[in-house]
Amino acid sequence: NAGVTQTPKFRVLKTGQSMTLLCAQDMNHEYMYWYRQDPGMGLRLIHYSVGEGTTAKGEVPDGYNVSRLKKQNFLLGLESAAPSQTSVYFCASKSRGLNTGELFFGEGSRLTVL
Amino acid sequence: QQPVQSPQAVILREGEDAVINCSSSKALYSVHWYRQKHGEAPVFLMILLKGGEQKGHDKISASFNEKKQQSSLYLTASQLSYSGTYFCGTERGSGTYKYIFGTGTRLKVLA
């Protein structure tokens, strides 16, 4: 059982380039999230989805777009990468239900923008 | 805004106790606690759903004061394996499933 898988694990981009991070979960979870983690800033929510075909903005959505065309996949796109987007990106998923609060995280994707 | 955690960092000797606080300027509907080892993904520790609730397993426990919009994580008789960064998490708005995390507390346990 793979859980939450992120690809790629590492990527180096030049300013202005575009890329897509893929998050795939095999737990049939309804909710999926993208976070970025920077030193001293903790985990900040970029976008999230409460079901297939739905997306919503998080706390730091600017410069990112997302899509959830299939329940198991949540894509994070950078249309024109900037050095400020250098970070470690984590995807997470959660099952429906108030008492199942656990978010399951992927291993992270380290992105460097030069 | 993110919930604010204090202290930002703490160093302990094995066997010592620590308290990590999580404070929010907005209502807390539930509180989760996670631990992240260096270079790894965060791992779930526990969730508190109601104000006044206290939970614990092994020597790690937590409390939730809904009125004060605060939660605290208690680490008793710390072990080397407790080292890592601890995050509180909360749902920003009841029923929104918009989960955000606190600023984090780096904990280092020395032998």
The whole-angstrom separation of Cα A85 and Cα A76 is 12
Q: Determine what percent of chain A is predicted with pLDDT higher than 70.
A: 95
Q: Choose among B40, B49, B89: nearest Cβ to A99.
A: B49
Res. A1: pLDDT tops 80: no
A54-72 confidence digits (pLDDT tens): 999 999 999 999 999 999 9
The whole-angstrom separation of Cα B111 and Cα B56 is 24
Res. A9: pLDDT tops 60: yes
- Kindly list the residues of chain A whose beta carbon comes within 8 Å of any beta carbon in chain B: 31, 33, 35, 40-45, 48, 50, 56, 58-59, 90, 92, 94, 98-99, 101-108
Is the CB of residue A23 less than 8 Å from the CB of residue A91?
A: yes
Q: Determine what percent of chain A is predicted with pLDDT higher than 90.
A: 88
B68-99 confidence digits (pLDDT tens): 899 999 999 999 999 999 999 988 776 778 89
The whole-angstrom separation of Cα A21 and Cα A11 is 10
Res. A18: pLDDT tops 70: yes
For B:29-68, CB contacts with A below 8 A are: 30, 32, 34, 40-44, 47, 49
CA-based nearest residue to A35, from A104, A95, A100:
A104
SS3 content of chain B, % helix, strand, coil (to 5): 5, 55, 45
Q: Say what the pLDDT of residue B96 is.
A: 75
Res. A98: pLDDT tops 60: no
Q: What is the pLDDT along chain B (111 residues), one digit of tens a residue?
A: 789 999 999 999 999 999 999 999 888 878 999 999 998 999 999 888 877 677 777 789 999 988 889 999 999 999 999 999 999 998 877 677 889 999 999 999 999
